[in-house]
Amino acid sequence: MAVVELAFPRPSQFYARYINMRYGTVIWITGLSGAGKSSLAIEVAGQLRVKGEHVVLLDGDDLRAVFGSVAGNVRNYGLEGRFSLAMQYAHLCRVIAAQGLTVVIATISLFKEVHAWNRENLPGYCEIYLKVPVEELRRRDPKGIYRRFDAGELSNVTGLDLPFDEPEAADWFVECVSGREASELASEIICQLIKRNNL
């Protein structure tokens, strides 16, 4: 029996053409652990839904479980493991956004190669970097990561014993400012996205 080669369109082309006739948007919220990524992502997603946007909210901690990388070892939490996960997150965002949906993701993923790939391949890409001093992160420490690191119970922590790349061309750069609510920042970000025709 002869094998017939079928030329299927790329998924991104298929979804954009036949489902919503437009590409979606990826809002990539990044920063060190405890910077407030998840809180801001939840606010941005919530406000966008109120405006009628179809939003998929992703969080790096949840995605670790999805991709089977929750075990606390060097393979999962070392530089190579973190980079591999970040690229998987990026590819997932592209698949979802190609269906015309808005993706809001909260993830550390502080690699210049990932940032460059995202900007080249993710539709409507908007990069938001939350820059918070380590001293403030230690004070917040919602997951006890910094306390456990200082006690010698934890290693492979980005920003402590693992290097990271600060985004060089973030669309929205947020330094630690006391008193700023996540809802306020989310509103400002959405206004900027609308002005840029990302939404």
CA distance 123 to 91: 12
Contact between residue 137 and residue 34 where contact means Cβ atoms under 8 Å apart: yes
Strand partners, 127: 28
CB atoms within 10 A of CB 163: 10
Provide the annotated active-site residues. 109
Give the CA dihedral 53, 44, 66, 92, nearest 10 degrees. 60
Residues contacting residue 31 through CB under 8 Å, at least 6 positions apart: 37, 108, 110, 129, 130, 131, 132
Contact between residue 108 and residue 160 where contact means Cβ atoms under 8 Å apart: no
CA distance 161 to 181: 30
Query: By three-state DSSP, how is residue 54 classified?
Result: coil
